[in-house]
Structure 1
């Protein structure tokens, strides 16, 4: 971290190009949109104004329990059961990404939850893609480039994962870039869905798995071994497999202290092979995923993981439930751990490398982001020079 750089002092994080890998469609609705759509379908909400409804979601999700956190989705899923509603939600979702400076995103959602009004899962996927395409095209007309892929999630406590895997393969050339399992983690290991993961592996289709959020190392191991996961959704409980000891340095040492780092077998596998952690700081605090280390962001093991070489990426998880954006999450890290522009760039490039884009696309995106950082930082330096 550099000391007192101009970038640290005045660079607006919202201006920085960002990559979001763990962003739930049904967790990113605008409160005003929920109210509009609920009125159309006759669904009763716990609040009647956008401000009050947004606060209700934030308060309800801040429970310290993943299960209670997930209960808030009853209201968002209820208004996402028709093609027009799915298309509107997806379009606005991408519009909000554009407003936050995101240049590449993977939006995940569970099609099996959106068929109660008669849509097939294929029709639901097509409706979401239509909304994504509309927003991407609108952004392009404003000379703003963004690329968005779908990740289809199967519910780990249900039994439709094989069908969702087949669905993902059918749409792999029309917007779907990956597969995930989500929902209650504890008691529902990835191995319960072995046939789906075998099908995806046979067809060389990328997988990310929610693991290490509400359950520990056994859940992470199952995601790695049974699901062949290329990324871990959250993965923060991987820190249970680390031993960190900080010692005072000798007088002749340049450092004030020495850190001894030891990783167990699961953590070593993840670190040595660069398996990405999709960490969502605010959400982790809300669900109690990091409660073993403390209640505050400063206690979150993200900094230890980042500083010891794990492939850490940052995402917002559910922007509505956490009242956040990706820019907000990065700003929290700056405040908690004194991260500077170089740290934010490294986290962003980690996300580029972990994305489900092809190699050439990842290289192009990494170059675009690095150049943009350099230009923005130079602009800040020039402004400060002019003021001097």
Structure 2
């Protein structure tokens, strides 16, 4: 069966709007807790701890984050986190941020979310790693309860590439595996900090039958993806945009996949793509040129995510509206991308299957007249 016959190439004459997309059940695999704070919350928390901000009015602060992140540089993009992480140094602050995160996602129609954060970044005021995870867990539980069961939120614990805490964070993730933590991640600058620096952590996680994703193919190219997949054994790729460098398109439009791209596709390794963020950091030259469309047409396991909702001034509904407008995607494509994400979640199979068959597919079936 060809990609076009699945509807991924089909042009939708009228792009879907954010308002149409918001009630649709959506699944989020790549979103950073410290990249999704409400600007008003940052101002409140900064005042409480004496953290100096570049702006103290809500709209001005939101604008500062978006403009600072819109630089075309991953390194500059990451600098904006000094202000969000700076106010997330107490248990009360972490719980509030996590609670509001769950509430905001539920209001956007997200039914399942995996939110990642680096516990090692929240120790400046004396919290332990365990206390950081406990505070975030409390916030997610409060947010789930406030949503009336409309959303399930799980954690991914992240180790920073430029640090040496991989084994410690991996052990922390295992300690919390039955209390909301479903996976491990590494993040931070790719160039100069290859994933193989964390081989001992990944080997430990595999021995423990645990899941992990790796930021790869965003700020660096194919070698980063190759190491993440072949040396480290990543279950998913965070971004993975540069896998397109292993695909050539002949003059007649026929795509040819290199060995790495073929392997990633054949193994159904999910790509956690974040369109707006990828353009901001320079991983994609523009939304219109984003590799998502080509990769989706070739039936890679593509998913759509916001990455950092504050820095990109976005939501998951916004991201779907953008790709709908850029690529002519309609409900059929949004459903395909959503099911891709749910299939790729680090939940047990029966929970994923139930959410697909009882929550996601019935809603889209009604829109598609099935």
Normalised by the length of structure 2, the TM-score is 0.95
Query: Aligned pair 1:98/2:90, yes or no?
Result: no
| Pair 263,40 (structure 1): closer, same or farther in 2 beyond 3 Å | same
What aligned pairs does 1:1-388 form with structure 2 within 5 A after superposition? 1=7, 12-140=20-148, 144-247=149-252, 259-290=253-284, 295-367=285-357, 368-377=359-368
Distance 1:6 1:65 in 2: 33
Task: Report the counterpart of residue 3 of structure 2 in structure 1.
Answer: none
Structure 1 portions without partners, runs of 5+: 248-258, 382-388
1:376 deviates by 4.2
| Pair 31,11 (structure 1): closer, same or farther in 2 beyond 3 Å | closer
The DSSP-based 3-state class of the residue aligned with 2:323 is: helix
Aligned residues: 361
| Pair 3,332 (structure 1): closer, same or farther in 2 beyond 3 Å | closer
Structure 2 portions without partners, runs of 5+: 1-6
Distance 2:73 2:209 in 1: 35
1:31 deviates by 0.2
Distance 1:212 1:180 in 2: 14
1:5 deviates by 8.2
The DSSP-based 3-state class of the residue aligned with 1:319 is: coil
Deviations 1:32-80 (A, max 9, x none): 0000000000000000101000000000000000000000000000000
1:336 deviates by 0.3
Deviations 1:86-128 (A, max 9, x none): 0000000010000100000000000000011111001100000
Distance 1:48 1:8 in 2: 35
Q: Which moved more, 1:204-213 or 1:1-10?
A: 1-10
| Pair 10,305 (structure 1): closer, same or farther in 2 beyond 3 Å | closer
Task: Report the counterpart of residue 384 of structure 1 in structure 2.
Answer: none
1:160 deviates by 0.5
Distance 1:149 1:4 in 2: 33
Distance 1:110 1:100 in 2: 24
Distance 1:6 1:286 in 2: 26
Deviations 1:138-176 (A, max 9, x none): 112xxx421110000000110001100000000000010
Runs of 4+ off more than 4 Å:
1-11
The DSSP-based 3-state class of the residue aligned with 2:71 is: coil
Distance 1:203 1:96 in 2: 33
Equivalent residues of 2:11, 2:327 under 8 A apart: no
| Pair 369,117 (structure 1): closer, same or farther in 2 beyond 3 Å | same
Deviations 1:171-199 (A, max 9, x none): 00001000000000111111001111111
1:9 deviates by 8.7
| Pair 53,334 (structure 1): closer, same or farther in 2 beyond 3 Å | same
Distance 2:368 2:21 in 1: 11
Distance 2:121 2:31 in 1: 17
Task: Report the counterpart of residue 250 of structure 1 in structure 2.
Answer: none
1:10 deviates by 10
1:372 deviates by 1.1
